[in-house]
Amino acid sequence: MSLNMVQLAFEASSLYDWARRVESLSLEDAGYVVHAALRACFGELAPQPFAVLSGASRFVNVLGYGPAEDRTLLDAARELAEPLLYRAVTASKLLSKPMPERFEAGRTYGFRILACPIRRGRDENGRVVERDAFLSQVSRSPEEKIDRTAVYLDWLEGELGRAGAAQLIKASMVSFRLVRPRRLSRSTGRAMRLLGERPEVCFEGGLRVSDPEAFTALLRRGIGRHRAFGYGMVLLRPHQG
């Protein structure tokens, strides 16, 4: 299956009107709004993972990886999207480019990733729960002084190294904040619910491709949890030194 990078800009006023009036979504979680809009426009062809980029307030700029090129996505939007959402996605150009069919082993790249570094475990009742990777480490070593940045960088190294995909050369934590994502409640139908606090971290750095096939799979999948909601896209850049 081919892999494409997709670039689009939702016209903000139409996107937010659709989110409020048609889907009754909260506008406080941009990742969820974009997730819902991409699925409503493109169905199973929707780019994922994706990243919401900062930019002019008139547009909500998005980059993502997906199986379809721009023409196929526009055809899907004509078929699936409501008029208000269709206007939002066609107000500016939707572009795509094919990613390399194979990445060279040993090739180095810079990267930028917005991620949610959490670990999954079980609570006292045996239920699967998500926990901040830093807090998870603190709970295992309560007597030690744990450095949050070091924990997150260790988590990043492990994610990039899944299936031997890539080796982390260097990385820094550019930004950090705690967020409370909103998600649809499975038990109450369309009602939105607030999740507990999750860490949101932007990483920048350099990596080296170890296994070409695993690396392509890494780009296609993204890293970490909540990849459908604006986290985990590995944006490649020229490697600086």
| Rg of the chain in Å (alpha carbons) | 19
Q: pLDDT digits over 127-170, tens only? A: 778 899 999 999 888 888 999 999 999 999 999 999 999 999 99
Q: Does pLDDT of 122 surpass 90?
A: no
Q: For residues 52 and 67, give the distance between their C-alpha atoms in angstroms, rounded to a whole number.
A: 19
Q: Does pLDDT of 194 surpass 90?
A: no
Taken in order 78, 83, 84, 90, the sign of the CA dihedral is: positive
**pLDDT tier, 189 (very low <50, low <70, confident <90, very high otherwise):** low
Q: ∠235-160-218 over CA atoms, to 5°?
A: 65
Ramachandran class of 12: left when φ > 0, alpha when ψ lies in -120 to 50, beta otherwise: alpha
Q: pLDDT digits over 41-78, tens only? A: 999 999 999 999 976 688 999 999 999 999 999 999 99
Q: For residues 219 and 217, give the distance between their C-alpha atoms in angstroms, rounded to a whole number.
A: 5
Q: Does pLDDT of 197 surpass 70?
A: yes
pTM for the full model?
0.91
